[in-house]
Structure 1
Amino acid sequence: MDFSTSQIIEAAAAPGASALGAMHRQASRRARQLVNILAKGGYKEVVFRVRSKASDWVRPRGVVWPVFPEDVMAADLTRPKKIVFPKITPGEPIAVNWVTGPAGPGSGGHTTLYRIVKYLQGRGYSNRVYFYAPYGGDQRYYEAIAREHYGLTCEIGNVKDGMRHAHAVVATNWTSAYPVFNSPCHGKRFYFVQDYEPYFYSVGTSSVLAENTYRMGFHGITAGRWLAEKLSRDFGMETDYFPFGCDTARYSHDPAVKRNGVAFYARAETPRRAVELGLLALGLFAKRQPQIELHLFGERMGDLGFKFVNHGLVTPAKLNEIYNRCFAGLSLSLTNVSLVPHEMLACGCIPVVNDADQNRIVLDNPHVVYAPPTPHALAGALEAVVTKSSFDTVSRRAAASVVSASWDDAGAAVDVALRRALGT
């Protein structure tokens, strides 16, 4: 087929023209998008989008491992290790190695773990805490926090330097389970499980590696009955559990404080606490009950489209004050329940919780209000609490229901479980 000169020139120019057209369409799309964002959220929303995109640009493209890859590769679950179980002689203290990640102040999981360690220390145990730090945290810095903030007095070391022989060696999260499995030190293996950690991740490598730790043959000691039943049923683990406690020295009902609020633990970096769902529910509630103050704590929040008190990260003393100013508190958990509902109850603040087996089994309290995990159902449950005519009576009874929920009971349950499993 023959082509004229004009046709050849037109064909040669077409790619450039096509590219210019594509650039024009993209520029027009971006301009319209910017107008829409400004109309909906204003300049603050534009700044937020720009910062989010900038963080994507600077984010490392390689794999950031929460566990040392060599520890995963060394853990051959098809060949369980033969572990030496030292005998416990009468009058000898039970020696326990606890392997955990280093933590800054305010970690709820470490607060619970170290409460148990200190309780056992008071019962004559010889505890040693070993940090497992794939991210390279400074040992001396985190040891100082463990002592000054969490009150640890026992020996603290680094698992990479090796562990001394013990009667019990305890993993405290999924990443620490790998060095506990691999370690040559003597001692029966235990797993102190506070949540179902595969749920912390989208389906992928991390969720699989976390799930595999329940196949390591450890004896599980779990926070609440739901986890014990799940790990026993799904993985055949031997399990015991301890009840959730409540620090009633910090959280208590103050009848002199006037209530006019609803509290919500809003920490977006913890997806299992369903922060986005809670904010949708609060948006609906704010329209129905605009006279009720909304108190958000956990982290500083930006503009949400409704008025609220932006507390950010708070101390226990401040949190006790917030709870006592509130009729109700929204506490959502898509995995194991948090400590927040117990703290709310102790202050006479009624927790509204998403209806799920793990929450009902662990909380086991008649004053908790359950609702389906939809924005309208949760907003309706909050509204029912704040409009209750007999609220003062309900509030006092709720606070009384957790007075006996001592952390000593949790420590005693762990003590019994360890001694039984160790045959003492």
Structure 2
Amino acid sequence: MAASTLGSTLSSVRLQIDRRARQISRLLATQGYRTVVDRARLKVSEWIKPRSFAWDVFPDDVTSADLIRPALPSSPNIAASEPMVINWVMGPAGPGSGGHTTISRVLNYLQDKGHTNRVYFYDPYCGDHKYYEMLAREHYGMTCEIGNARAGMSDAHAVLATGWPSAYGVYNARCAGKRFYFIQDYEPYFYPVGTNSVLAENTYRMGFHGITAGRWLADKLAREFGMDTDYFPFGCDTTRYRRDPSTERSGVVFYARLGTPRRAVELGLLALELFAKRQPQIEVHIFGNDFGDLPFKFTNHGLVSPDKLNEIYNTCFAGLTLSLTNVSLVPYEMLASGCIPIVNDADHNRVVLDNPSVRYASLTPHSLAAALEDVICARDFESVSREAATSVASRSWDTAGATVEKALRRALMANNQFRPRHSA
């Protein structure tokens, strides 16, 4: 190597080292060592991440799903009083999945009413079937048959997709049964604009009958995609989440899941930073994720059991729970415990919650912090708390289950083909 080239290379290296040294020095001075470590981990993760596309669906199911020339599966007739046979197609899940919790509540309700349920896992990640079957039984109380969707499904009256990847499996399946789509959120919003967002959106064009969590989704899918839709109301487990009038409240709580961008965790943390400066005497509780250092004092609960969560709610005046898509189950749980939920003001939240005890705020740190302050400064918080708990006292997952049962039955009966009956 020529001396001039070597000198130029060394000069460039020294320039980059000096630049990084100054950057690290500034970060240490202004944000601390943990920020430096996090930046380094992020850079390493970029170096080692896969260079191929990560498929959330079997690619051959995408290429087999011809939406131009859809297959028309047969659908067995059903009598008005006949028990339904229902295939549920879903991805396997570990403990604590809110989506699977809702599915299991409805599925188990239908099971108790005498209908036959079958669960079929749709798993492009090729996880261990026996392990996830064990979790489905132990954590979600599923007692029905559990099989593998890719191995084929038995005929049924109804075949339900429960997420956009499973919708491709349902669309291509050869088993008989009217196709339904149990939809809990607008899943194209889960991704940046790209292949996955388009693949998710295309499932709403598959001709399935949608049964959605709350009215916002039903209206959106009917309006934008022409889907036939029904919706069920969110339930609340008031046997587990309940107000304890003997508990002294001294804090606020934030539902923070970093792995779900639609929960706007970063904005919530900025709001809590402002709130903590204004109300330093109020304890701040965070659950959903384990956090390191934050620029304010807080109690880090991480993932907690429902019983522990009820205890946390009962020690708090208010809870911050944000959603950029369909609302989560958290606001109703907070209400049942007498903790006032602060929710970002959006049509999808107002339509689904429809509760006078929920407080809405613009999605800015200052507005959210101010809403928290308004609750803790309420003149008669005990009355406010009691009204909140009373507002959801009649909400039950049985109501949700019964609504789904009626929607399935109504759609299946409408699908019946006329067959003349002859007396013996």
Q: Considering only CA atoms, is the larger Rg found in Structure 1 or Structure 2?
A: 1
Q: For 2:299 and 2:14, how far apart are their aligned partners in 1?
A: 44
Q: Which residue does the alignment assign to 2:220? A: 230
Question: How many angstroms does 1:358 deviate by?
Answer: 0.4
Per-residue displacement from partner, 1:370-420 (whole Å, max 9, x unpaired)? 000000000011111111111110000000000001000000100110000
SS of the equivalent of 2:342 reads: strand
Correspondence for 2:301 among 311, 332, 349:
311
Q: For 1:246 and 1:122, how far apart are their aligned partners in 2?
A: 19
Correspondence for 1:186 among 154, 173, 176:
176
SS of the equivalent of 2:74 reads: coil
Correspondence for 2:355 among 365, 384, 388:
365
Correspondence for 2:27 among 31, 37, 44:
37
SS of the equivalent of 1:170 reads: strand
Q: Which runs of 5+ in 2 are unaligned?
A: 415-424
Task: Assess if the C-alpha contact under 8 Å between 2:80 and 2:413 holds in 1.
Answer: no
SS of the equivalent of 2:270 reads: helix
Question: What is the TM-score of this pair, normalised by structure 2?
Answer: 0.96
Q: For 1:368 and 1:60, how far apart are their aligned partners in 2?
A: 43
Q: For 2:116 and 2:179, how far apart are their aligned partners in 1?
A: 16
Per-residue displacement from partner, 1:41-60 (whole Å, max 9, x unpaired)? 32222222222222222222
Task: Assess if the C-alpha contact under 8 Å between 2:77 and 2:413 holds in 1.
Answer: no
Per-residue displacement from partner, 1:79-125 (whole Å, max 9, x unpaired)? 11111011114654211100000011111000000100000111111
Pairing 1:218–2:199 present: no
Pairing 1:56–2:25 present: no
Letter of the aligned partner of 1:115 in structure 2?
A: R
SS of the equivalent of 1:296 reads: strand
Question: How many angstroms does 1:20 deviate by?
Answer: 2.5
Task: Report the number of matched residues.
Answer: 413
Per-residue displacement from partner, 1:273-308 (whole Å, max 9, x unpaired)? 000010010000000000000000001011111000
Q: Which residue does the alignment assign to 1:422? A: 412
Q: Which residue does the alignment assign to 1:259? A: 249
Q: For 1:312 and 1:149, how far apart are their aligned partners in 2?
A: 19
Pairing 1:104–2:65 present: no
Within 5 Å, give how 1:322-361 maps onto structure 2: 322-361=312-351
Q: For 2:281 and 2:318, how far apart are their aligned partners in 1?
A: 14
SS of the equivalent of 1:149 reads: helix
Within 5 Å, give how 1:378-393 maps onto structure 2: 378-393=368-383
The worse-fitting range, judged by mean Cα deviation, of 402-411 and 19-28 is: 19-28
Q: Which residue does the alignment assign to 1:5? A: none
Pairing 1:115–2:105 present: yes
SS of the equivalent of 2:32 reads: helix
Q: For 1:232 and 1:72, how far apart are their aligned partners in 2?
A: 23
Letter of the aligned partner of 1:292 in structure 2?
A: I
Within 5 Å, give how 1:166-205 maps onto structure 2: 166-205=156-195
Letter of the aligned partner of 1:53 in structure 2?
A: K
Pairing 1:76–2:69 present: no
Question: How many angstroms does 1:24 deviate by?
Answer: 1.7
Q: For 1:191 and 1:101, how far apart are their aligned partners in 2?
A: 14
Per-residue displacement from partner, 1:9-48 (whole Å, max 9, x unpaired)? xxx7544433222222111101101111111232222222
Per-residue displacement from partner, 1:323-358 (whole Å, max 9, x unpaired)? 000000000000000000000000000000000000
Within 5 Å, give how 1:14-29 maps onto structure 2: 14-29=4-19
Q: Which residue does the alignment assign to 1:6? A: none
The worse-fitting range, judged by mean Cα deviation, of 329-338 and 91-100 is: 91-100
Q: Which residue does the alignment assign to 1:292? A: 282
The sequence identity of aligned pairs, in percent, is 67
SS of the equivalent of 2:127 reads: coil
Q: For 1:61 and 1:130, how far apart are their aligned partners in 2?
A: 31
Q: For 2:235 and 2:100, how far apart are their aligned partners in 1?
A: 14
Correspondence for 1:250 among 240, 248, 265:
240
SS of the equivalent of 1:249 reads: coil
Letter of the aligned partner of 2:313 in structure 1?
A: Y
SS of the equivalent of 2:374 reads: helix
SS of the equivalent of 1:206 reads: helix
Q: Which has the higher contact order (CA 8 A, sep 6+)?
A: 2
Task: Assess if the C-alpha contact under 8 Å between 2:240 and 2:310 holds in 1.
Answer: yes
Task: Assess if the C-alpha contact under 8 Å between 2:79 and 2:413 holds in 1.
Answer: no
The worse-fitting range, judged by mean Cα deviation, of 322-331 and 41-50 is: 41-50
The worse-fitting range, judged by mean Cα deviation, of 14-23 and 312-321 is: 14-23
Q: Which residue does the alignment assign to 2:366? A: 376
Q: For 1:211 and 1:150, how far apart are their aligned partners in 2?
A: 28
Pairing 1:148–2:159 present: no
Q: For 2:348 and 2:373, how far apart are their aligned partners in 1?
A: 24
Q: Which runs of 5+ in 1 are unaligned?
A: 1-11
Letter of the aligned partner of 1:72 in structure 2?
A: V
SS of the equivalent of 1:383 reads: helix
Pairing 1:396–2:386 present: yes
Q: For 2:321 and 2:388, how far apart are their aligned partners in 1?
A: 16
The worse-fitting range, judged by mean Cα deviation, of 18-27 and 64-73 is: 18-27
Distance 1:91 1:371, change over 3 A: closer
